[in-house]
Amino acid sequence: MKRIIKNGHLLDLQTGTINKRDILIDNGMIQTIAENVTDPEAEVIDVAGKLVVPGLIDMHVHFREPGFEKKETIATGSAAAAKGGFTTVACMPNTRPVIDSPETVRQVLSRAQEAGLARVLVYGAITVRELGQELTDMEGLKEAGVFAVTDDGVGVKSSRMMKEAMRRAHSLGLPVVAHCEDDTLAKGGSVHQGVFAAKHGLKGIPSEAEAIHVGRDILLAEDIGVHYHVCHISAEQSVRLVREAKQRGQKVTAEVTPHHLLLCDEDIPEPNAMWKMNPPLRSKQDRQALIEGLKDGTIDIIATDHAPHTSEEKAWDMEKAPFGIVGLETAFPLLYTHLVEKGVLTLAELVDKMTRKPSEIFGLQYGELAVGKPADVTVIDLEAEREIDPTTFKSLGRNTPFAGWKVKGWPVLTLLEGEITWREI
Ligand SMILES: NC(=O)N[C@@H](CC(=O)O)C(=O)O
Ligand SMILES: [Zn+2]
Ligand SMILES: [Zn+2]
């Protein structure tokens, strides 16, 4: 089937300029991009005045299937992705069973295929059941389709285990993606060790709990040459370590979440698990360092760490409730409103860090609007302003601290390989 996305405002990521263009899609691929395209066989969708960008890519989501289908399923997570303007997402393996076997990888991929609303990439675990005791069969995982390995949810405790994992992953061409957390420092904490923790007498998680792993892993990776990627970077010290490693030419990359870019511990109104996530919201100064790191390229990409939990679990108190907040359906409007409109990032910088750059660092084929590429296209209404209302989410997770925030820049049309996955235009 042919489609024309007509009169869109296409953003040139290099120059930041916007050009009015039509996109002709045929057979799931972009066939033509030009000022005026006509084709009598094509369905025309007029998106006059709306921003047209490559389908957004989120390299860090938790879809909870298999095992925790009350929190999210691959189908509901994919629907949330589509509504949020995402066409490609990468699923973390901390499911039950953990995605540590080829069989589970195949199961997740086939569920994603059935749902059909997002392109789902799958991370395999580094260690069996993410227990840090024994490496997974990375070769088998790769054959089954994983593109990278991680034990997200927990840090890999043993340096020896991490080093061996890096060697094995590197020999297979798999990036090692790390949740950096030294649990001897972090254990029992529910918020950042800082102003808020002190005020409320809560046990804090210090920044070093993250930075120690970042530093350790950079040292371990140096000789091996593996692509090492830091998940949800949150502390100033970690940013510094990644910056230095990059300056030395090491293949190190990092991601930051929308919440760590927009919030700090002082923004937490009172102890309430909607504000509980791992790593925790850190200090104002850390938040500033993340923004600087993103601007100077130390931090490569933005990823949501979409982590749905049930309302029941998130109603528990701060110490008992699970860590995590959802992100797919709010990421773009939040970042557009609070970073682009306020002049912190340009629109081209924001879009780049959510499309082209993730594709580049992980060697994917997506994230670009160009002839001959898969037609992953997201159309955004930059003027539409709405309050964030968790009851309207496609995600089963309603856990967000951003409920009630009035934001602009909502995705109104998402196409995955030319097929409509979200539309309100
Ligand atoms: N980020 C979180 O707060 N929670 C994640 C785990 C993780 O990303 O480490 C989860 O699985 O719920
Ligand atoms: Zn994590
Ligand atoms: Zn995560």
Domains of the chain by residue range: 2-51+373-423, 55-361
The pLDDT of residue 132: 98
The pLDDT of residue 249: 98
> Could you tell me where the DSSP H helices lie in 226-317?
236-247, 258-262, 284-295, 311-314
The pLDDT of residue 148: 99
What is the rounded average pLDDT of the residues 394-419? Answer: 98
Mutation choice for ligand 1 from 276, 277, 281, 318, CB with most ligand atoms inside 8 A: 277
Nearest CA to ligand 1 atom 9: 153
Element (H, E) at 140: helix 138-144
Mutation choice for ligand 1 from 65, 278, 310, 328, CB with most ligand atoms inside 8 A: 278
Whether the CB-CB separation of 399 and 325 falls below 8 Å is answered with yes
Query: pTM for this one?
Result: 0.98
Residues 51-105: tens digit of each pLDDT: 999 999 999 999 999 999 999 999 999 999 999 999 999 999 999 999 999 999 9
Which residue, 243, 188, 189, 259, is CA-closest to 211?
A: 243
Q: Is the four-CA dihedral 288, 291, 296, 297 of positive or negative sign? A: positive
Choice among 286, 305, 352, 381 that is catalytic: 305
Placement of tokens 């997200």 in the chain: 152
Confidence of residue 319 (pLDDT cuts 50, 70, 90): very high
Confidence of residue 399 (pLDDT cuts 50, 70, 90): very high
Residue 389 falls in the annotated catalytic set: no
| Ligand 1 center from residue 305 Cα (angstroms) | 7
Residues 22-50: tens digit of each pLDDT: 999 999 999 999 999 999 999 999 999 99
Residues 343-355: tens digit of each pLDDT: 999 999 999 999 9
Please state whether the peptide bond connecting residue 279 to the residue before it is cis, i.e. omega within 30 degrees of 0.
yes
Whether the CB-CB separation of 127 and 134 falls below 8 Å is answered with yes
The pLDDT of residue 382: 98
Beta pairing, strands 43-46 & 2-11 = parallel
| 152 SS3 class | coil
Confidence of residue 414 (pLDDT cuts 50, 70, 90): very high
Query: How much is the mean pLDDT over the chain?
Result: 98
Indicate whether this complex's ipTM tops 0.90. yes
| Fold of the domain built from segment(s) 2-51+373-423 | Urease, subunit C; domain 1 (2.30.40)
| Residue 380 Cβ < 6 Å to ligand 1 | no
Question: Measured between alpha carbons, how far is residue 55 from residues 2, 232, 358, 373 in Å?
Answer: 18, 21, 12, 12
Q: Which two tokens stand for residue 418?
A: 């030319």
- Amino acid symbol at 358: P
What is the rounded average pLDDT of the residues 305-315? Answer: 98
Q: DSSP labels for 68-97? A: -TTT--HHHHHHHHHHTTEEEEEE-S-SSS
What is the rounded average pLDDT of the residues 239-246? Answer: 98
| Fold of the domain built from segment(s) 55-361 | TIM Barrel (3.20.20)
Nearest CA to ligand 1 atom 2: 324
